[in-house]
Chains A and B, each alone.
Chain A
Amino acid sequence: MARYALRRLPSIALILLLVSAIVFVAIHVLPGNAATLILGEYATPEALRTLEREMGLDRPLVVQYASWIGSVVTGDWGVSLAMKQPVATVVGYRLRNSAFLAAAALAVVIVVGIPLGTLAALRRGQPLDLAIVTATYVGISIPEFVTGLLLLLVLAGPTLHWLPTSGYTELASGVAAWARHLVLPALTLTIVLLAHVVRQTRSGMADVLTAPYIRTARLKGASTRRVVLRHALRNGLLPTITVLALDLGYLMGGIVVVEEVFAYPGLGRLIVYAVQNRDVPLLQMCALVVASVYVLANFAADLAYAWFDPRIRYS
């Protein structure tokens, strides 16, 4: 297992390096460099050139990239132009808040999605299956900002008013208030994720349930419960692991919109803020963090896959 992980490391490192190059290229090669963004459109050419020299923007791109990567790796993430705070501090705090949100959503998805998908697979073609499949289809199709606002309308509206409409309370100032602010954004993310996981679990389990070894288990008189829990889940869930990792990627994109809907101070809202204020140092670190989390999540999923399916380790 450890050898398999080690073997994969160089390619993970390479992907991370490429990811950072893409962030750099997207921001620096396109028209309008950081100096122009800081000074505005009407800056004199001399002022621009002076600032460019100060910021090192007159150096060749490769040199700029190398020095940027150097400082990122050594922990110097620069200072946000709009917030006047160290990027590392801001991103760290927001990343933690987003992690709460993502963890809450993923937990609900695993606890609800896998049983629901298994149930649909067991009742394949019956009304219950059809209902589950249709519901997930609609769940996938409605954009999260619509789902979020609908949930807001119902659960936080004047009639029910169960939950706060938006914002955030620090964990330190009370778990209950903190959790209440987490419910709506987490629930919104859950609905889309649930659809993915239910569909994948359903098709994975449906394939496995028709396999000969499952028929053997049934024939020797094992109960459905035992067949599912002991025999089918282990194989049927393998593809679901991959979907969960991909979903983490979706979560990283989904939080951009969902956090904006509920004014939740996470990484997603920080990205929107950085884009609106054209805060390049902030944006490039946010983008790098999001993409890195995704790459590492996929790596973790590969490891989990290899753990469950030893054939992968030796191929």
Chain B
Amino acid sequence: MRRSPALAVGGLILAIVLVLGVAAPWIVPYPTTEQHMLERLKPPGARFVLGTDQYGRDLLSRTLVGTRPALLLGLGAVALGLTVGVPIGLLAGYAGGRLDDVVMRVVDAMLAFPSLLLALLIITALGASTGHALLAIGVANAPGVARIVRSATLSLREAEFVLAARARGERHLYVMFGEIFPNVLAPVVVEATLRVGFAIVAGASLSFLGLGVQPPTADWGLMIREARQYVFVSPWPLLAPGTALAITIVAFNLFGDGLRDRLGAA
């Protein structure tokens, strides 16, 4: 085990983002929807540390509170993706044979869709909202998770501890979740961490397209959508949430890559 700067740096930034996200409503200088109509599109200054948007809303407050929908969506969607993908991957890898073939064909076909497109198909059927965005991105994550879990499971199928469990007559369900699952946890954790970053981007993309979080909620993707029109008047409504988004994603990627090195998972 070597010391990993990526893990430490990523972890530290993530901890800060997490704390800020949780504490945001209590530490922000202004309510996120409070409009100061005489101070629209102001650059950073003493009163508004990061400036204001087109309605004179405080960008620092909105960016801080915007951490919450981003983290909620990223973590929620990946949790959903794991809930659906892990059992499918375990089952396909453990059962093998015909079942594995069929399941993996379907998974491969689903992976042929860019995950944003898969999410868009689901949004079309359900309508645009924060909850639907989470659901759509979660489902779009499931096939990728299933593929990772399946290949890890496949390599353990004939392992001695698995054969031993079966020989002592354990039920298949127990062998899958009690014996195999703990041993595929490392690659799953790495994969999940990296996926949170992508899920946050996907969620922000949906908001940016007007198909996710709806106004006037403080959300980074939505803030950038609204900033676009005024970008030549004032770049701050773009820069504040854009930087927050980039820092958060870099942190998740660093942390995930660091974990991968540390855990030695593929």
A-B pairs with beta carbons under 8 Å apart, 29 shown: A15-B108, A15-B112, A18-B106, A22-B110, A23-B121, A30-B125, A31-B125, A32-B126, A143-B201, A143-B204, A145-B204, A146-B238, A149-B224, A149-B231, A157-B232, A253-B115, A253-B116, A253-B117, A256-B209, A260-B209, A275-B123, A275-B211, A276-B211, A283-B121, A290-B117, A291-B109, A291-B113, A294-B114, A295-B112
Q: B250 and A287: CB pair below 8 A?
A: no
Known: A274-B124, A291-B117. 5 other contacts (CB 8 A): A158-B232, A256-B114, A271-B117, A287-B113, A291-B113
The count of residues in chain B whose C-beta lies closer than 8 Å to any C-beta of chain A is: 41
Contacts of A278 in B (CB 8 A): 124
Q: B126 and A256: CB pair below 8 A?
A: no
A18, A149, A287: the one contacting B228 at CB < 8 Å is A149
User: When chains A and B are docked, how far (Å) is the Cα of A203 from the Cα of B122?
Assistant: 37
Which residues of A (1-36) have their CB < 8 Å from a CB of B?
A: 14-15, 18-19, 21-23, 26-27, 30-32
Say yes or no for B163: interface residue by CB 8 A criterion: no
Q: B124 and A280: CB pair below 8 A?
A: yes
User: When chains A and B are docked, how far (Å) is the Cα of A307 from the Cα of B152?
Assistant: 30
Query: Which of B25-33, B56-64, B154-162, B241-249 lies at the interface?
Result: B241-249
The interface bits of chain A over 188-210 (1 if a CB of B lies within 8 angstroms of the residue's CB, else 0) are 00000000000000000000000
Q: A18 and B224: CB pair below 8 A?
A: no
Known contacts A146-B224, A257-B205, A295-B112; is-contact A141 B121 (Cβ 8 Å): no
Contacts of B210 in A (CB 8 A): 276
User: When chains A and B are docked, how far (Å) is the Cα of A21 from the Cα of B235?
Assistant: 44
User: When chains A and B are docked, how far (Å) is the Cα of A75 from the Cα of B116?
Assistant: 27
Interface centre among B106, B114, B209, B231 (most CB of A within 10 A): B114
A27, A142, A250, A256: the one contacting B249 at CB < 8 Å is A142
Say yes or no for A153: interface residue by CB 8 A criterion: yes
Q: How large is the interface on A (under 10, 10 to 19, 20 to 34, 35 or more residues)?
A: 35 or more
Say yes or no for B138: interface residue by CB 8 A criterion: no
User: When chains A and B are docked, how far (Å) is the Cα of A271 from the Cα of B116?
Assistant: 11
User: When chains A and B are docked, how far (Å) is the Cα of A298 from the Cα of B227?
Assistant: 37
Contacts of A184 in B (CB 8 A): none
User: When chains A and B are docked, how far (Å) is the Cα of A261 from the Cα of B208?
Assistant: 9
Residues of B within 8 A of A (CB): 105-106, 108-110, 112-118, 120-126, 197, 201, 204-205, 208-211, 221, 224, 227-228, 231-232, 235, 238, 242, 245-246, 249-250, 253
User: When chains A and B are docked, how far (Å) is the Cα of A142 from the Cα of B201?
Assistant: 8
Interface centre among A158, A250, A257 (most CB of B within 10 A): A257
User: When chains A and B are docked, how far (Å) is the Cα of A18 from the Cα of B106?
Assistant: 7
User: When chains A and B are docked, how far (Å) is the Cα of A252 from the Cα of B114?
Assistant: 7
Say yes or no for A162: interface residue by CB 8 A criterion: no
Contacts of A19 in B (CB 8 A): 109, 112-113
User: When chains A and B are docked, how far (Å) is the Cα of A243 from the Cα of B126?
Assistant: 33
Which residues of A (234-263) have their CB < 8 Å from a CB of B?
A: 249-250, 252-254, 256-257, 260-261
Q: B121 and A149: CB pair below 8 A?
A: no
User: When chains A and B are docked, how far (Å) is the Cα of A61 from the Cα of B213?
Assistant: 33
Least CB distance from B208 to A in Å reads: 5
Say yes or no for A102: interface residue by CB 8 A criterion: no
B115, B120, B224, B250: the one contacting A145 at CB < 8 Å is B224
User: When chains A and B are docked, how far (Å) is the Cα of A19 from the Cα of B143?
Assistant: 13
The dominant DSSP class at the B interface is helix
Contacts of B105 in A (CB 8 A): 14-15, 18
A30, A138, A157, A254: the one contacting B122 at CB < 8 Å is A30
Q: Which residue of A lies closest to B249 (CB)?
A: A141
Q: A257 and B116: CB pair below 8 A?
A: yes
Least CB distance from A136 to B in Å reads: 11
Q: A290 and B246: CB pair below 8 A?
A: no
Contacts of A143 in B (CB 8 A): 201, 204-205, 245-246, 249
User: When chains A and B are docked, how far (Å) is the Cα of A254 from the Cα of B137?
Assistant: 15
Contacts of A15 in B (CB 8 A): 105, 108-109, 112
Contacts of B211 in A (CB 8 A): 272, 275-276
Known contacts A15-B108, A15-B112, A256-B117; is-contact A149 B238 (Cβ 8 Å): yes
User: When chains A and B are docked, how far (Å) is the Cα of A274 from the Cα of B231?
Assistant: 27
Known contacts A143-B204, A145-B208, A276-B211; is-contact A283 B116 (Cβ 8 Å): no
User: When chains A and B are docked, how far (Å) is the Cα of A173 from the Cα of B114?
Assistant: 33
Least CB distance from B254 to A in Å reads: 8
B110, B113, B242: the one contacting A146 at CB < 8 Å is B242
B106, B126, B197, B249: the one contacting A30 at CB < 8 Å is B126
Say yes or no for A308: interface residue by CB 8 A criterion: no
Q: A22 and B113: CB pair below 8 A?
A: yes
Known contacts A141-B253, A149-B224, A152-B231; is-contact A272 B209 (Cβ 8 Å): yes
User: When chains A and B are docked, how far (Å) is the Cα of A19 from the Cα of B117?
Assistant: 13
Q: Which residue of B lies closest to A278 (CB)?
A: B124
A18, A21, A250, A275: the one contacting B120 at CB < 8 Å is A275
